[in-house]
């Protein structure tokens, strides 16, 4: 997407935005502050002035629609939005390996992993960036920092006993494909069987250009830093993806084991749509698997859609628009909230939204270059 024109000449809009307490109205106002909308307003204004001799549009808009209580000091914006005040993320349960053979592993929580299809890739290694500072030195790490959830987007057959043969054939050809591509660490098929694809100590090609952060660290390009778990499922643009009860049960056990083994925080268990970015146009949400409807709760996790999107607040990406009826769902609701926070931060810093976003983008380019030089860019 082409760069937007700077908003410096419209600082009166920013001044008005700061004074709007209601976040929805403020967001609506800031959307209206986009240059193309302003141009439209200016043209309309000129016509109105000529025809009706009304006073300044800025005064009318501010007085009639937006201006409410005097500006209050803003609280500092947290790195990540708390998931839910009622549900504190539980620490991972203790899960241990009970038995291992050449073909499989059994765990104390009932998890069974089929190892017959495991393939090597290259050993994991990545840079973690301190979240609080754009200039703090990166730290080299090799432990899995989180999990990214995917759908395979592969062919589907009806989930019924009559289609058993077709379901099995589809699952087998999918497995061939993901092994060749080194696409994920684990695939959970529609019968809930957990197949190891890429070995856990190696990186897998699952997340591409991507960004996530926890309270301490920012991660850029998650193939190296996050494990990839994919559910055999396909996204319906209207209803999202649906997984079977067997996939839910198996997924919950796999997540529990991985979190126990690597002490992965619940907040770092997120979907591909939450982390995916496209650096060529600075849009987030290039991949849309699990943009909404991921069953966090059934999988033993807090609703991580409640987290603001680090690609937006740390690096100035803008989220690609989704289906209009999903604007209040999943990652699209997170994106809207994050945009509000960014507008607030820009105002607090005395910058236009565009100038603030540009400074974040410079940080991204700097960090991306460090990742590239370290050899873990995608």
Query: Quick one: CA dihedral 251, 256, 262, 264, positive or negative?
Result: positive
The residues with which 236 forms a beta bridge, in sequence order, are 240
Q: Is 150 in the site for Zn ion (CB under 5 A)?
A: yes
Nearer to Zn ion, 83 or 271 (CB): 271
Nearer to Zn ion, 271 or 347 (CB): 271
Q: How far apart are CA 295 and CA 264, in angstroms?
A: 18
Shortest Å distance, C-beta 340 to Zn ion:
27
Size of the site for Zn ion (CB under 5 A): 4
Stretch that binds Zn ion, among 57-65, 97-105, 168-176, 271-279 (CB under 5 A): 271-279
Stretch that binds Zn ion, among 172-180, 269-277, 304-312, 349-357 (CB under 5 A): 269-277
Q: Is 272 in the site for Zn ion (CB under 5 A)?
A: yes
Nearer to Zn ion, 185 or 287 (CB): 287
Nearer to Zn ion, 331 or 343 (CB): 331
Nearer to Zn ion, 150 or 190 (CB): 150
Shortest Å distance, C-beta 91 to Zn ion:
27
| Strand pairing report for 139-141 and 194-196 | unpaired
Nearer to Zn ion, 152 or 334 (CB): 152
Query: Which phi and psi (to 5°) does residue 196 adopt?
Result: -80, 130
Stretch that binds Zn ion, among 77-85, 145-153, 208-216, 351-359 (CB under 5 A): 145-153
Which of 224, 289, 308, 339 forms a contact with Zn ion (CB under 5 A)? 289
Q: Is 182 in the site for Zn ion (CB under 5 A)?
A: no
State in Å, rounded, how far the first CA of the chain is from the last one: 20
Stretch that binds Zn ion, among 121-129, 147-155, 234-242, 325-333 (CB under 5 A): 147-155
Shortest Å distance, C-beta 218 to Zn ion:
20
Residue in the structure block whose two tokens are 């000529």: 50
Shortest Å distance, C-beta 272 to Zn ion:
3
Q: Is 185 in the site for Zn ion (CB under 5 A)?
A: no
Shortest Å distance, C-beta 187 to Zn ion:
12
Binding characters for Zn ion, 217-256, by CB under 5 A (x = yes): ----------------------------------------
Binding characters for Zn ion, 28-67, by CB under 5 A (x = yes): ----------------------------------------
Nearer to Zn ion, 156 or 352 (CB): 156
Shortest Å distance, C-beta 145 to Zn ion:
17
Nearer to Zn ion, 29 or 319 (CB): 319
Residues that bind Zn ion (CB under 5 A): 150, 272, 287, 289
């Amino acid at each position: 997407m082409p760069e937007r024109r700077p908003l410096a000449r419209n600082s009166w809009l920013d001044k008005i935005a700061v004074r709007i307490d209601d976040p929805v109205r403020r967001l609506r106002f800031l959307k209206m502050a986009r240059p193309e909308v302003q141009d439209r307003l200016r043209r309309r204004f000129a016509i109105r002035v000529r025809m009706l001799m009304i006073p300044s549009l800025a005064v009318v808009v501010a007085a009639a629609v937006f201006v409410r209580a005097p500006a209050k000091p803003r609280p500092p914006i947290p790195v990540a939005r708390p998931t839910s005040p009622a549900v504190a993320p539980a620490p991972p349960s203790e899960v241990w390996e009970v038995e291992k053979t050449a073909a499989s592993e059994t765990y104390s929580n009932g998890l069974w992993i089929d190892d017959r299809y495991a393939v090597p890739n290259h050993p994991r290694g990545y840079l973690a960036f301190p979240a609080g500072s754009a200039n703090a030195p990166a730290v080299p790490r090799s432990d899995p920092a989180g999990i990214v959830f995917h759908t395979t987007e592969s062919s589907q057959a009806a989930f019924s006993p009559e289609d058993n043969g077709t379901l099995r054939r589809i699952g087998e050809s999918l497995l061939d494909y993901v092994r060749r591509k080194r696409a994920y660490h684990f695939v959970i098929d529609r019968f809930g069987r957990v197949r190891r694809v890429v070995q856990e100590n190696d990186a897998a090609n699952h997340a591409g250009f991507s960004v996530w952060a926890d309270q301490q660290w920012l991660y850029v390009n998650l193939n190296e830093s996050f494990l990839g778990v994919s559910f055999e499922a396909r996204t319906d643009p209207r209803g999202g993806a649906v997984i079977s009860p067997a996939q839910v049960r198996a997924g919950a056990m796999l997540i529990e084991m991985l979190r126990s083994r690597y002490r992965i925080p619940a907040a770092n268990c997120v979907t591909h749509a939450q982390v995916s970015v496209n650096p060529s146009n600075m849009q987030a949400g290039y991949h849309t698997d699990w943009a909404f409807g991921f069953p966090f709760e059934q999988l033993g996790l807090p609703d991580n859609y409640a987290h603001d999107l680090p690609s937006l607040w740390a690096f100035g990406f803008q989220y690609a628009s989704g289906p209009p009826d999903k604007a209040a769902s999943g990652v699209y609701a997170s994106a809207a909230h994050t945009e509000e926070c960014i507008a607030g931060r820009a105002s607090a810093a005395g910058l236009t939204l565009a100038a603030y976003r540009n400074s974040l983008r410079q940080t991204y380019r700097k960090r991306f270059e460090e990742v590239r030089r370290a050899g873990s860019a995608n």
